[in-house]
Amino acid sequence: MAFRRKPPGSAVYVFRRNVAEDKGFRERVQRIGGLVQEIENIADPALRAVTKELVRSLMELHGAAFERAMEIVSAAGQPGMNLIDQLGRDPLVSSVLTLYGLHPEALDSRVLRAIEQVKPKLRKQGCEVQLLELNDGVVRLRVQTGEHTCGSTARTAQAALEEAIYDAAPDIVALSIEGLEGRPASGFVALDSLTGGAQAQVLTGAN
8 Å CB contact between 127 and 146: yes
Q: pLDDT: is 192 or 51 the higher one? A: 51
pLDDT confidence tier of residue 56, bands split at 50, 70 and 90: confident
Confidence of residue 187 (pLDDT cuts 50, 70, 90): very low
For the whole model, what pTM was predicted?
0.62
- In the DSSP assignment, the letter for residue 171 is T
Domain boundaries, the chain: 14-99, 107-204
Residue 12 dihedral angles phi and psi, to the nearest 5°? -100, 130
The Cα–Cα gap between 100 and 81 comes to 18
How many degrees, rounded to 5, is the angle at CA 10 between CA 7 and CA 16?
A: 110
Cα(131)–Cα(160) distance, rounded to whole angstroms?
Answer: 15
Phi, psi of 90 (to 5 degrees): -80, 125
Amino acid occupying residue 8: P
**Residue 153 scores a pLDDT above 50:** yes
Angle between helices 107-124 and 151-168 (to 10 degrees): 160
Q: Mean pLDDT across the stretch 82-101? A: 83
How far is it, in rounded angstroms, from Cα 110 to Cα 199?
21
Higher-confidence residue of 189 and 112: namely: 112
Residue 159 pLDDT level (bands cut at 50, 70, 90): confident
| Run of H or E residues at 119 | helix 107-124
Per-residue pLDDT at 65: 92
Q: Would you tell me how many other CB atoms lie within 10 Å of the CB of residue 133?
A: 11
When the candidates are 3.40.50.150, 3.40.50.300, 3.30.300.130, 3.40.190.100, the CATH number that belongs to 107-204 is 3.30.300.130
Q: What percent of the chain has pLDDT over 70?
A: 71
Burial of 93 (0-12, 13-18, 19+ CB in 10 A): middle
- Those residues whose C-beta lies under 8 Å from the C-beta of residue 185, and which sit 6 or more positions away, are 155, 156, 158, 159, 162
Whether residue 199 has pLDDT greater than 70: no
Strand 127-135 to 201-204 pairing: unpaired
